[in-house]
């Protein structure tokens, strides 16, 4: 596995691979890799000849009161996991290389970034899409694979690529969960003892909404109330539970394409999760963590 910290070398490597007729696939991450990230790697290998994984904790997408300094990092372990999983190139730029000066020009994510995560984290998606645009320009992939775990982000990345003509395919992969339903996240490393148990409220709330919908309820009001009832568990501070379409608009009638999104704080840890109702939580791959 190649490990490249240099933007120039990364671009040269990718261009050389493409010049040889190889399809380059890309998985952007913030590192502290888990099985969710590694399934994105597997999926990329099925769709491309070469897999690039980037590890970059992007300061631009963290608010001033957020966990940038505490965000878990372990490059040694990431290197090992990526190598074992067959990643061809690990791109690990440092902050000074990515942002030699504070970027004055940034991507404006538009109205899909206004609600939910965008409302809870002002400026977050401008930071995400700006770094993703930079990474796409540096890696120049044919396909990028992102996780549905960050649903609003995945939909925004898809629109970024389409609206700004990046000329690459965006593939959205299902959420990988632990056997008890908790969605894998680097931030789960913060969950200890009671918090780990309490965190199950998110996936339980999603299942409760799904069950009520399968039972015939198609009005978003009662479905959201049912979900919030379950989300309001001891040790859990719900932030939102919303039923939206792929453009993050609230729906008037719920159908199989409707997505239920939740965010809650468990202790000091902020967690998010979601389900596409027609697919269901149980359809997501589950792994022993
Ligand atoms: P992150 O390192 O958290 O920025 O995530 C990097 C990529 O991995 C994003 O596309 C995420 O949506 C995806 N990802 C994170 N957790 C999961 C998960 N549990 N299942 C599938 N994809 C995930």
Q: What does the pLDDT read at residue 204? A: 98
- Across 245-262, average pLDDT: 98
Domain 2-173: CATH architecture, name and number where available: 3-Layer(aba) Sandwich (3.40)
Work out the average pLDDT over 103-114. Answer: 98
Say whether pLDDT at 247 is over 90.
yes
For the residues 14-37, what does the mean pLDDT come to? 98
What is the per-residue pLDDT for 262?
Answer: 98
Nearest ligand 1 atom to alpha carbon 30: 2
Nearest CA to ligand 1 atom 6: 29
Domain boundaries, the chain: 2-173, 186-276
Question: Which one is catalytic: 2, 34, 37, 137?
Answer: 37
The label of the residue with tokens 């056997």 reads 179
| pLDDT category of residue 132 using cuts at 50, 70 and 90 | very high
Q: What is the pLDDT of residue 289?
A: 78
Asked if pLDDT for residue 227 goes beyond 90, the answer is yes
Calculate mean pLDDT across residues 118-139: 98
Q: Ligand 1, atom 13: nearest CA belongs to which residue?
A: 147
Instruction: Tell me which of 36, 61, 145 to substitute to probe ligand 1's pocket, judged by most ligand atoms within 8 Å of the beta carbon.
Output: 36
Distance CA 250, CA 248 (A): 7
Selecting from 3.20.20.220, 3.40.50.300, 3.60.15.10, 3.30.1300.10, what CATH number does the domain 186-276 have?
3.30.1300.10
Predicted pLDDT of residue 111:
98
Q: Note if 37 is an active site residue.
A: yes
Residue 37 Cα to ligand 1 middle (Å): 6
- What is the model's pTM? 0.98
């Amino acid at each position: 596995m190649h490990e490249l910290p240099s933007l120039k070398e990364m671009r040269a490597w990718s261009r050389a691979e493409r010049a040889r007729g190889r399809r380059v696939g890309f998985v952007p991450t913030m590192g502290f890799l888990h099985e969710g990230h590694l399934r994105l790697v597997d999926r990329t290998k099925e769709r491309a000849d070469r897999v690039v994984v980037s590890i970059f904790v992007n300061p631009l997408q963290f608010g001033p009161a957020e966990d940038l300094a505490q965000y878990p990092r372990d490059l040694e372990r990431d290197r090992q996991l990526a190598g074992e999983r067959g990643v061809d190139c690990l791109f690990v730029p440092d902050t000074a290389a990515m942002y030699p000066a504070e970027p004055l020009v940034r991507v404006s994510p538009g109205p899909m970034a206004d609600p939910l995560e965008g409302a809870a984290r002002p400026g977050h998606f401008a930071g995400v899409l700006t770094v993703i645009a930079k990474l796409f320009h540096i890696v120049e992939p044919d396909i990028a694979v992102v996780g549905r775990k960050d649903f609003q982000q995945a939909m925004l990345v898809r629109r970024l690529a389409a609206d700004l003509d990046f000329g690459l395919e965006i593939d959205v992969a299902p959420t990988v969960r632990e056997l008890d339903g908790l969605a894998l996240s680097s931030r789960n490393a913060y969950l200890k003892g009671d918090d780990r148990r309490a965190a199950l409220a998110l996936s339980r709330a999603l299942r409760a909404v799904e069950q009520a919908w399968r039972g015939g309820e198609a009005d978003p009001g009662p479905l959201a109330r049912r979900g919030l009832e379950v989300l309001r568990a001891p040790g859990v501070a719900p932030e939102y539970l919303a039923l939206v379409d792929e453009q993050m608009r609230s729906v008037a009638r719920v159908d199989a394409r409707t997505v239920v999104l939740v965010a809650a704080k468990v202790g000091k840890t902020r967690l998010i999760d979601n389900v596409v109702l027609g697919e269901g939580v149980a359809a997501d791959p589950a792994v022993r963590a």
